[in-house]
């Protein structure tokens, strides 16, 4: 392990997405930068992201894709570092990628390429990366900060905290940023796991066990917000893009409404088919819009199995539509930080500058990335926030 310099211009704590970007940007400006990481590897969430293919940005990312107590805060950074800026870097490194759903960019081969690109850029920018280094103390040291670490002491003019949120503790997530912010008098909002699957009570789950693994187009709504993306039945409850998205808006005890046939006027269809195909079973009719097996299981579950279309009364059709298009489900909870992609909530944004990310109560101390109360939708927005906040801070330190 190399020795720490006794003094540098900038120390960045946390070698994840935002910390790497900040260190690179400051390094290219000629600042001496030390990037400290407590685990034995940089960018572990980058490696596990996007199912191993890193959904590294969303080309149509706008402030509307972010949740925050102050929805205006993210605008400045997002406008100064755009998705195309990151794509330009990816192109310069010859990394192949593709667009999955409109705007969502994924590596063709592996997330490793994005991490390698950032580590190469950090090297070119002269950043010193120190792994396996935990922070023992931080004291203001006018001007700047004095740190005691497990690799030795170091002082700096600017100290950037890029230690992320609480999700996936077993790859090194900690509440370090929140604790430090509070120590310097900054407020931290309530936090909870987001972009996370729902769990269901046994009475709801057991009859749906046979559906585990089934994915179905859906519209999922809660708290006045809807997402039309697939839903996935799991052994523990519900997942899939629409459920992960809505989990950011869900609060314990709330009910979620699921439309399992979002592109279908089910009532119109059944009224028409009652005349055209009176001998068809309901399952037969539904299986043109979902798998036969899913149609069978759900019809059995909701007591419609064996219904012949010709026999359906108008009120029966109404009940069927209610079940398939307005399924109201009350999750028992979420899978929590163990599997969540992000932490919603965090350091109150009013406490830092939207231009530089410097703490208003502590000159020379900066907070970037997921530790702030800015949380993106699924689809590459969270990385875009990490790159943008890291870049803007790196220009200021």
Ligand X SMILES: Cc1cc2nc3c(=O)[nH]c(=O)nc-3n(C[C@H](O)[C@H](O)[C@H](O)COP(=O)(O)OP(=O)(O)OC[C@H]3O[C@@H](n4cnc5c(N)ncnc54)[C@H](O)[C@@H]3O)c2cc1C
Within 128-147, the residues that bind ligand X by CB under 6 A are: 134-135
Identify the CA nearest to 389 among candidates 342, 355, 345, 339.
355
* Residue 352 near ligand X by CB under 6 A: no
- Which residue, 145 or 324, is less far from ligand X as judged by CB? 145
Q: Identify which range of 35-43, 85-93, 183-191, 324-332 contacts ligand X by CB under 6 A.
A: 35-43
* Residue 334 near ligand X by CB under 6 A: no
- Which residue, 39 or 116, is less far from ligand X as judged by CB? 39
Q: Could you tell me how many residues of this chain bind ligand X (CB under 6 A)?
A: 37
| CA 21 – CA 122 distance, rounded (Å) | 8
**Exactly one of 27, 144, 164, 240 binds ligand X (CB under 6 A); which one?**
164
| CA 98 – CA 100 distance, rounded (Å) | 6
* Residue 45 near ligand X by CB under 6 A: yes
Q: Where are the alpha helices (DSSP H) in 50-186?
A: 75-80, 83-92, 112-124, 176-183
Measured from the CB of residue 252, what is the shortest distance to ligand X in angstroms?
21
* Residue 54 near ligand X by CB under 6 A: yes
Contact 111, 53 (CB under 8 A): yes
- Which residue, 13 or 243, is less far from ligand X as judged by CB? 13
- Which residue, 83 or 331, is less far from ligand X as judged by CB? 83
Assigned token pair, 309: 């279309």
Within 377-396, the residues that bind ligand X by CB under 6 A are: 380-383, 386
**Exactly one of 237, 345, 369, 394 binds ligand X (CB under 6 A); which one?**
369
* Residue 14 near ligand X by CB under 6 A: yes
Residue 206: partners with Cβ closer than 8 Å, 6 or more residues away: none
Measured from the CB of residue 32, what is the shortest distance to ligand X in angstroms?
19
Closest residue to ligand X, based on beta-carbon distance: 16
Torsion-angle region of 83 (φ positive above 0: left; ψ -120 to 50: alpha; else: beta): alpha
Cα separation values, 384 from 64, 83, 143, 145, 350, Å: 13, 7, 32, 29, 21
* Residue 342 near ligand X by CB under 6 A: yes
Give me the torsion for CA of 382, 388, 392, 394, rounded to 10°: 80
Question: What are the φ and ψ backbone dihedral angles of 236, each rounded to 5 degrees?
Answer: -105, -20
Binding interface with ligand X (CB under 6 A): 13-19, 36-39, 44-45, 48-50, 54-55, 134-135, 162-164, 167-168, 172, 174, 176, 341-342, 369-370, 380-383, 386
């Amino acid at each position: 392990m190399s020795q720490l310099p006794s003094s540098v211009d900038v120390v960045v704590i946390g070698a994840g997405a935002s910390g790497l970007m900040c260190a690179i940007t400051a390094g290219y400006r000629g600042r001496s930068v030390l990037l400290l990481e407590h685990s034995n590897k940089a960018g572990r969430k980058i490696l596990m992201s996007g199912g191993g293919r890193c959904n590294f940005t969303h080309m149509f990312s706008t402030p509307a894709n972010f949740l925050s107590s102050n929805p205006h805060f993210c605008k400045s950074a997002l406008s100064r570092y755009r998705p195309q800026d990151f794509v330009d870097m990816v192109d310069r490194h010859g990394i192949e990628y593709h667009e999955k759903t409109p705007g969502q960019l994924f590596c063709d081969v592996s997330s490793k390429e994005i991490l390698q690109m950032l580590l190469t850029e950090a090297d070119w920018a002269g950043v010193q990366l120190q792994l396996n280094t935990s922070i023992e103390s931080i004291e203001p040291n006018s001007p700047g900060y004095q740190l005691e670490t497990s690799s030795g002491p170091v002082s700096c003019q600017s100290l950037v905290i890029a230690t992320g949120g609480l999700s996936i503790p077993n790859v090194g997530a900690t509440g370090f940023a929140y604790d430090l912010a509070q120590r310097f008098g900054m407020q931290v909002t309530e936090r909870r796991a987001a972009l996370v699957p729902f769990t269901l009570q046994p009475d709801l789950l057991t009859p749906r066990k046979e559906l585990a693994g089934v994915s179905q187009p859906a519209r999922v709504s809660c708290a006045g917000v809807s997402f039309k993306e697939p839903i996935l039945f799991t052994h523990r409850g519900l997942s899939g893009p629409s459920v992960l998205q809505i989990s950011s808006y869900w609060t314990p005890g709330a009910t979620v409404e699921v439309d399992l046939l979002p592109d279908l006027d089910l009532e119109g269809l059944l009224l028409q088919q009652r005349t055209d195909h009176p001998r068809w079973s309901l399952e037969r009719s539904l299986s043109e819009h979902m798998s036969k097996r899913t149609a069978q299981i759900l019809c059995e579950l909701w007591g419609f199995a064996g219904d012949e279309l010709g026999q359906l009364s108008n009120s029966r059709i109404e009940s069927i539509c209610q079940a398939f298009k307005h399924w109201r489900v009350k999750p028992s909870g979420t899978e929590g930080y163990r599997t969540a992609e992000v932490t919603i909530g965090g350091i109150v944004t009013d406490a830092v500058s939207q231009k530089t990310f410097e703490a208003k109560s502590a000159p020379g101390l900066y907070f970037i990335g997921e530790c702030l109360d800015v949380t993106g939708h699924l689809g590459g927005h969270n990385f875009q926030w990490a790159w943008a906040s890291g870049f803007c801070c790196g220009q200021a330190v």
